Amino acid sequence: MTLPSDDLGHPVDLVRPARRVVSLVPSLTEAVAATQPEALVGATDWCTHPAGLEVTRVRGTKNPDRSAITALAPDLVLANREENRELDVDRLRAAGIAVWVTVIETVDEAFASMERMFVDALGWDSPSWLDEARAVWAEPAPESGRRVAIPIWRDPWMVVGGRTFTGDLVARLGLVNAFDGGTERYPRVDLADIDSLDVDLVLLPDEPYVFTADDGPEAFEHTPTRLVSGRSLTWYGPSMLTARAELESTLD
């Protein structure tokens, strides 16, 4: 029998339908909780949605407590190439834990990857909210053409570059990522490169760096800024049902 392969092409020996799931990705934690909450037994400290989530916490995305994960005896651990370390995935697999790694760099990949995760990996039906979110993002982008920069960190300043889910998402809103053309996905840049005539608007999300009204906008002397929801801008999953309307309202 041919084993299903994850987004990296790694065959995964699965128990289906999965009844015990640990998620190491906040977006996927929310996706599982919105679909079969009783199956979710573990999640990272960064998994903040849905509100009031009560599962065993297994530390962070970059330093998961592998012993705690093993003790939960999961049928499957959900991971992501960008958010989780290959080392942790390899060590979990060496301990006999099935791990399904997702790769999501565009909006379309988000929908396709999550559908495969639900159907091929978890052995569940594809949830209705996934089809609803796909329909929301199938609407054509407005003709804005505004060039935006999206910092994700300061000191040093880092921005969203090319081949990223967030970069593709803002393109779906009719925006142009001013740092899309480089080779790095999250390049370090000088503040002057962001606060320039080549950028019409700086979007300051509240994660991973928590930009606030008092921490971020004051750095920009020339370019207007807008505080935005990091969840709407960077998360895939059920947040995509409302992210488009929320971001478009913020950008008006």
Let me know: does 99 contact 22? Beta carbons within 8 Å. no
- pTM (2 decimals)? 0.96
Q: Which two tokens stand for residue 147?
A: 């060039």
* pLDDT given for residue 156 in this prediction: 97
* pLDDT given for residue 145 in this prediction: 85
Would you identify the CATH topology of the domain 21-135? Rossmann fold (3.40.50)
Residue numbers in the chain where pLDDT is lower than 70 = 1
Let me know: does 34 contact 22? Beta carbons within 8 Å. no
Determine the angle formed by the axes of helices 165-172 and 107-116, rounding to 10 degrees. Answer: 120
* pLDDT given for residue 139 in this prediction: 92
DSSP state of 59: B
* pLDDT given for residue 252 in this prediction: 82
Let me know: does 92 contact 76? Beta carbons within 8 Å. no
* pLDDT given for residue 197 in this prediction: 83
* pLDDT given for residue 54 in this prediction: 96
CB-count burial class (<10 Å; 0-12, 13-18, 19+) for 22: buried
CA distance 125 to 88: 29
* pLDDT given for residue 142 in this prediction: 84
End-to-end CA separation in angstroms for the chain: 53
- Level-2 CATH architecture, domain 147-251: 3-Layer(aba) Sandwich (3.40)
- Per CATH, 21-135 and 147-251 having the same topology is answered yes
Domain chopping of the chain, boundaries:
21-135, 147-251
